[in-house]
Amino acid sequence: MANETLTIRRPDDWHAHLRDGEMLKAVAPFTARQFARAIVMPNLVPPIATPEEASAYRARIVDATGPGFTPLMTCYLTDSTSQDELARGFETGAWIAAKLYPAGATTNSASGVTDIRNIYPVLERMERIGMVLCVHGEVTDPRIDVFDRETVFIERVLAPVTRDFPGLKIVFEHITTAQAVQFVLQAGDGLAATVTPQHLILNRNAIFAGGLRPHAYCLPVAKREEHRLAVRKAASSGSPKFFLGTDSAPHSREAKESSCGCAGIFNAPFALESYATVFEEEGALDHFEAFASENGARFYGLPLNEGSVTLERSEARVPDELAGVVPFQAGEVLGWRLLA
Ligand code: NCD
Ligand code: ZN
């Protein structure tokens, strides 16, 4: 009897960290094997902040992946981003979106925005030209509990921005809470969200399961079980407001297994397998293709990919290490396997 398979239109990753140099060469092929396109995050050191830097970075990525994969570049917003340069990069195709990192919110965000008001003129321009804003939605106020940073960001930043720029297209990245789901659902069509595999699979207990687990640590940090369930329900609901964004964020084993371990989970090698397992558990495999291959492209106003990929029901064991990085779900057996 033939194995059970699942074939979907070629999918895209709407949030990936591909790094640079040797790490780029080592990790980018995993993303390129799974996805036709990926929104590439600009949080290098120094960040990707000019059209020229984005174009040169794109060329290094294509060099690392070979043809058949399309990197979609982004601009790292700072307090001093020039709206003319941002628009020039958009109009010439150097980048398709801009990324808001609140300064200090996460890995390589030191040059980020210190007060949303500082980029109001930039947001107004983006609204006018139809450029998407990708948002790391966490406040950095040290008085706010780390588990509440997303919820407080909605109140303090996202709600005012959506009110002040009703025509601005915003992707609320890697959502982790019931409040984020609620906010996205009640907002207009201009607000959508990406969902990572880890926030569908882990709750915050995973970070402390039998000891401190650095490979379960990413930002935003995993939340309570009730939040994981709310995010799973939203992602698998069929709503066009939720789509695939892995936030694959590789760090070397040494950088993770440290007295001050980096935030980030490297999930690219088995991303589709992880997501498919979740959709199946939710009884929602019929919504998987929209989540992985349609909703994001439609939100960004890009054509859907041609071609398809096939997953086969079989036991895929995730290796303990790939390219010097410990992948998400290392050592676990997943229920699906992506065919070559
Ligand atoms: C990301 C990284 O390592 O670049 N880390 C993470 O935990 N997600 C940065 C980010 O997206 O927040
Ligand atoms: Zn990220």
Q: Thinking of the domain 12-308, which architecture would CATH place it in?
A: Alpha-Beta Barrel (3.20)
Q: Check if 255 has its Cβ closer than 6 Å to any atom of ligand 1.
A: no
Say which amino acid occupies 96: I
Q: What is the mean pLDDT of residues 170-191?
A: 98
Q: CA-CA distance, 121 to 82, in Å (whole number)?
A: 9
Give residue 337 CA to ligand 1 midpoint distance, Å.
26
Return the beta strands (E) in 58-138 as ranges.
Answer: 70-76, 97-100, 132-135
- pTM for the model stands at 0.98
Q: Which ligand sits closest to the CA of 107?
A: 1
Express as a percent the part of the chain with pLDDT over 90. 96
Q: What is the mean pLDDT of residues 174-200?
A: 98
Report which ligand 1 atom has the smallest distance to the Cα of 262.
3
Q: Check if 263 has its Cβ closer than 6 Å to any atom of ligand 1.
A: yes
- Cβ–Cβ under 8 Å, residues 132 and 171: yes
Give residue 316 CA to ligand 1 midpoint distance, Å.
26
Give residue 118 CA to ligand 1 midpoint distance, Å.
23
Q: What is the mean pLDDT of residues 217-227?
A: 98
Q: Check if 246 has its Cβ closer than 6 Å to any atom of ligand 1.
A: no
Active site includes 63? no
Domain locations in the chain as residue ranges: 12-308
Compute the half-sphere exposure of residue 21: CA atoms within 13 Å on the CB side of its CA: 2
pLDDT score at 79:
97
Residue 2 has pLDDT above 70, yes or no: no
Q: Check if 264 has its Cβ closer than 6 Å to any atom of ligand 1.
A: yes
pLDDT score at 340:
87
